[in-house]
Amino acid sequence: MKIDGSCHCGKITYEAEVNPEGVYLCHCQDCQAISGSPYRWAVTIPAEDFTLLTGSPKTYVKTAESGTTNHQVFCPDCASPLYSTAPDNAVASVNLRLGTARQRASLRPRTELWCRSAQVWAGGMEGARKLERQ
């Protein structure tokens, strides 16, 4: 599915090819803290399926529970999270943040990750596959 999107202020725009079956929610504590919400909504795609059209995002490097580093990419003006990528990953991929996608109403989560960290009051997606970890 071809999608496009932008940060909140519109300075950074992109287009991507995504598989709607790969859409997920992540309930890990890092995603909660970075997103400021009970979970992060995203889809992982090959890096070649993502094109940055305008703007220059900023990167924050975080270290995951596993010890690997992950680049969190966001707009330096409005702070909208755009995507993340693991620079040391042999398979180059992008974890696209779907709150920035114009077609977001069509991108229903199919999987929930890190359910052991989920906020009990946040509920869950009916019919989604639920994993305790990643």
Question: Each residue of 12-60: pLDDT tens digit?
Answer: 999 999 999 999 988 888 878 888 888 889 999 999 999 999 999 999 9
pLDDT of 131 higher than 60: no
**Residue 109 C-beta-side C-alpha neighbours within 13 Å:** 22
55-114 pLDDT tens trace:
999 999 988 777 878 899 999 999 999 999 877 655 689 999 999 999 999 999 998 877
Looking at residue 118, its amino acid is: A
Q: E strands, the chain, where?
A: 2-6, 13-17, 23-26, 40-46, 50-54, 58-63, 69-74, 81-85, 93-97, 111-113, 129-130
Collapsed DSSP state (helix, strand, coil) of residue 45: strand
Dist CA 65 CA 33 (whole Å): 14
Distant-in-sequence, close-in-space partners of 81: CB < 8 Å, separation ≥ 6: 34, 35, 40, 72, 73, 74, 97, 99, 100
Return the structure tokens found at 126: 């009916």
